[in-house]
Each structure stands twice: as C-alpha cells, then as structure tokens.
Amino acid sequence: MCEPISATLGVVSALGSGMQAIGAHQQQSAAVARSNAIAQQQYQRQLQISAAQDQEKARTYEAQLKAATASRNAYHRQVTANQAEANRALAASANNLKQKSAAAAFESQRAVAKAVQAQGSVLATGRSGQSFLLQTMDSQRVLGLEQAEINRSMYDASAASGVEQHGILLDQNAANVAAWNNLPANPLSPQASFIPIKPMKQQGPSGLALAGSLIGSAAGGFSAGLGAYDTMASNKLFGVGG
C-alpha cells in the first residue's frame, strides 16, 4: 500500500511543478506578445504622424509657391506701371522744354524784327555821322542783349529739364527696387520627416526551456516519490506508523 501512495505523491508533485512551469511560460509569452503589440501600435502611429506631417508640409509648400508666383506677377505688373509712369513724366518734361524752346524762338524773332525796325527808322532819317552810327550800334547792342537773355533762359530751361528727367529715372528705379524688396523669399522644398525606427520584436520564452522545466518537474516528482517511499519503508521497518 505504501508504494502506490509514494508514486501518487511523485505524480502530484510533478504535475504541480509542471503546471507552474506552463503557467509561467504562458505568462511570459503573453507579456512579450503584449509588449510587441504595443510597440507595433506605437510604430504604426508614428508612421501615421510622419505621413500627416509630410502632407501638411506639402500643402504649405504648395501654398507658398502659389503666393510667390502671385507676388512675382504683381512685381512685373508694378515694374510695367513704373515704366509707363516714367515714360509719361519724361514725355511731359520734354514737351515742356519744347514749348519753352518754341517760345524762345518766337521771342528771338520778335527781337530781330524790333532791331530791324529800329535800324530802318534810323536809316529813314537820312542822317549820317557819328550820331547815326551810335544809334545803329545801339540797336545791335539791344538785340545782342535780348538774344543773350533768351539763350541764357533756354540754357537754364534745358538744365532744369535734364535734372527733372534724371529725377524721374531715379524715382522709377527706387519704385522698382521697392517692388523687388517686397517680394517674398523663394520657398524651400520641404524635407521628408524621419522614418521612425521599426521596433525589434521581442522573443518569448523558449519552448526548450519549458520542456526542460517539465522534465525537471517530472524528475523532481519522481525523486519526491522515492523519498516518500523510502520514508515509509523506514517507518515500517522500525515500527513507526501503520
């Protein structure tokens, strides 16, 4: 009766140890599987975030390109308008100088006619001598003074017109530079986001280790059964127990 009991104890001990080994193995496997699942979910989430960021960068870049194109078109329109305004101002300045030149020419003709008329009046007197010569020279002197005044006036008008036209060109250049400075910088093409590092899959507990644990448990149970049997045999030998 004692040997079956010891064998039973050994089997029970082996089963208990084996169940503990299997439970520990399953618990470790579940923990590793959960950790791997969480890491994979985080990796996929990071990929989604990177993709969304890249899409947003692309949309922003496209908007910046459209804005830059619109600004350049506006710049070229402004330069064209500046050129048209400069042409108008230059034409007005040239026309003003032309009018002054025409007025000076008429004034010069009047001065010549006046001098001729004065000389004719002197000649009509029929006089001669020094007084006649002085009167003739005086009309020439008056004509020379009037011509010098007209020429001086035209010189001043030409100089003023040149300064005016130079100022018009400077204003045009300043307007073009201001339009250029208002242009936005060329947008830089976006860089792709860094790809997240793919997680390393953790390995679960080895099946060989589980098999070794089960074999060890069986051996331990067998050893425990033998020990129980030896104890019972000794007790029976010395009359201890039933």
Mean pLDDT of 103-107: 86
Contacts of 7 (CB under 8 A, 6+ apart): 225, 229
| pLDDT for 122 | 57
User: How high is the mean pLDDT of the chain?
Assistant: 75
Please report, as a single letter, which amino acid is at residue 163: V
pLDDT score of 232 more than 80: no
Please indicate whether residue 220 or residue 110 has the higher confidence score (pLDDT).
Answer: 110
pLDDT value, residue 6: 45
Length of the chain: 242
Biggest CA-to-CA distance, the chain: 193
Q: Is the pLDDT of residue 182 over 60?
A: yes
pLDDT at 57: 87
8 A C-beta contact, residue 12 and residue 217: no
For residue 215, name the pLDDT band (cuts at 50, 70, 90). low
CA dist 135 and 182 (Å) reads 70
| Among 95-99, 125-129, 147-151, the range of highest mean pLDDT | 95-99
pTM to 2 decimal places:
0.54
Q: With bands split at pLDDT 50, 70 and 90, how would you rate the model's confidence at 40?
A: confident
Give yes or no for a contact between 196 and 50, defined as CB atoms under 8 angstroms apart.
yes
- Give the separation between CA 220 and CA 226, rounded to whole angstroms: 10
Lowest mean pLDDT among 13-27, 178-192, 206-220: 206-220
pLDDT reported for residue 205: 59
pLDDT for residue 226 is more than 80: no
Cβ proximity of 228 and 5 under 8 Å: yes
Residue 16 binned pLDDT confidence (cut-offs 50, 70, 90): low
The whole-angstrom separation of Cα 18 and Cα 16 is: 5
Mean pLDDT of 62-90: 94
Cα separations in angstroms, 225 against 2, 21, 97, 151: 11, 19, 131, 141
